Amino acid sequence: MIKNQNRNTQLNAFLKKNLGERPFSYQAITSDASFRQYYRVRSESKNFILMDSPANLIDNQPFVGLQHNFEQAGLLVPEILALDLETGFLLLNDLGTEHLADRLQLASRLDDYKAVLDLLPTIAAIPNSKWMKPYDAEFICLEINIFKEWLIEAWLGKSFSEQQSQCWKMLENKLATLMLEQPQVTMHRDFHSRNIMKTTKGWALIDFQDAVSGPVSYDAVSLLRDCYFSLPKAEFSQLLQYNYLTMSKKGLLGDMSLQEYRYYFDLTGLQRHLKAAGIFCRLLLRDNKSGYLNNILPTLEYVRMVGQQYEEFQWLATWLDNEIIPAIQLKLEQFS
């Protein structure tokens, strides 16, 4: 559905201008975790994707700039066929309908993962550009606190005790330090199974507009600790080792051992999954999107698992087990 009649008029005018006289129709296919909406545009001879990204809500320049950066690096990304930055419409080529997420029950799963992990050195080598926002300690902590603000306080209605506040501050400082002391490379930042597509030309990347220069383990965390799919333990271990060897051979890890890489990987994942769980609640409360609620508990399972493995974060695992997860389970019963 188009959000309002005026937007509908603008959308049709954009398509008529760029598709000429050929007849067309369009249908909403998905929206992402922002204000964007996507449509598949069908004409007699060819399909397209229309990205409706309202300019009053979203700055679309990073998408355009980073699309060029990723394409220049030899990565397969949507081609921008036409755009109107004033209104926020972009016409893209249609990459098809098959995402990595659609292939995770196939026997070829491990081969697919390895092929996708092979893209990470190329992404990492993309030069920093003006479209990449600073990914510094302040921003890392801001992301962590999405969990506190939206899940703990806004959704569950809880507040931190003085002791919890002290532990939380320690967690912020520790995670920010560990993320910034890793080799800093270009990262897609949302490199998970729903943002990677299987096409006739190879694996394609979408949703890259938030790319930044950040910790070398981050994109591997996004993929191998996907909020939408949990890898079996043996497969995870095999793929993590494959990722380590791939990045190491390209000189991206310095003299880091596999054990050291796993430590950075786990704690980078702790930061990412706290942020993600908070975002899922923000999508519900701020944007009225309830479709991510079932991903909260699996995402927090990663947090709990890492907390149990590292002594300094065992308080977090205990807190989740005893208080937060039971409260979430009660909340989720309201939506069942």
Q: What does the pLDDT look like over 113-153, one tens digit per residue? A: 999 999 999 999 999 999 998 999 999 999 999 999 999 99
List Cβ neighbours of 161 (8 Å cut-off, separation of 6 or more): none
Distance in angstroms (rounded) separating the CA atoms of residues 46 and 44: 6
Residue 287 burial (CB count, 10 A) = 13
Tell me the three state secondary structure of residue 48: strand
Average of per-residue pLDDT across 283-301: 94
Q: What percent of the chain has pLDDT over 90?
A: 90
Q: In the prediction, which pLDDT does 331 show?
A: 94
pLDDT above 60: residue 285: yes
Q: Which of 33, 86, 76, 3 is nearest to 289 (CA)?
A: 33
Average pLDDT, the chain: 95
* Residue carrying structure tokens 């409360």: 285
Q: What does the pLDDT look like over 31-86, one tens digit per residue? A: 666 788 999 999 888 899 999 999 999 999 999 999 999 999 999 999 999 999 99
Q: In the prediction, which pLDDT does 207 show?
A: 94
Range name among 131-135, 173-177, 276-280 with the lowest pLDDT average = 131-135
Tokens of 132: 């990449």
Backbone angles phi, psi at 80, to 5 degrees: -85, 110
* Residue carrying structure tokens 């560990």: 178
pLDDT above 80: residue 304: yes
Range name among 13-17, 216-220, 246-250, 331-335 with the lowest pLDDT average = 331-335
Task: Classify residue 288 as exposed, middle or buried by CB count within 10 Å of its CB (0-12, 13-18, 19+).
Answer: exposed
Backbone angles phi, psi at 236, to 5 degrees: -60, -50
User: Which residues does residue 43 pair with via DSSP β-bridges, in sequence order?
Assistant: 24
**pLDDT confidence bin for 1, thresholds 50/70/90:** very low
User: DSSP per residue over 191-259, as a string?
Assistant: -SGGGEEEETTEEEE---TT-EEEETTHHHHHHHT-TT----HHHHHHHHHHHHHHHHHTT-STT--HH
Q: In the prediction, which pLDDT does 81 show?
A: 97
The residue ranking higher by pLDDT, 334 or 255, is 255
Q: What does the pLDDT look like over 12-35, one tens digit per residue? A: 999 999 998 778 999 998 766 678
pLDDT above 60: residue 264: yes
State the first-to-last Cα distance of the chain, in angstroms, to the nearest integer: 25
pLDDT above 60: residue 2: no
Q: In the prediction, which pLDDT does 35 show?
A: 82
**pLDDT confidence bin for 254, thresholds 50/70/90:** very high
Q: In the prediction, which pLDDT does 334 show?
A: 85
Tell me, what amino acid is at 182?
Q
- The Cα-based distances of 50 to 29, 31, 41 in angstroms read 10, 11, 7
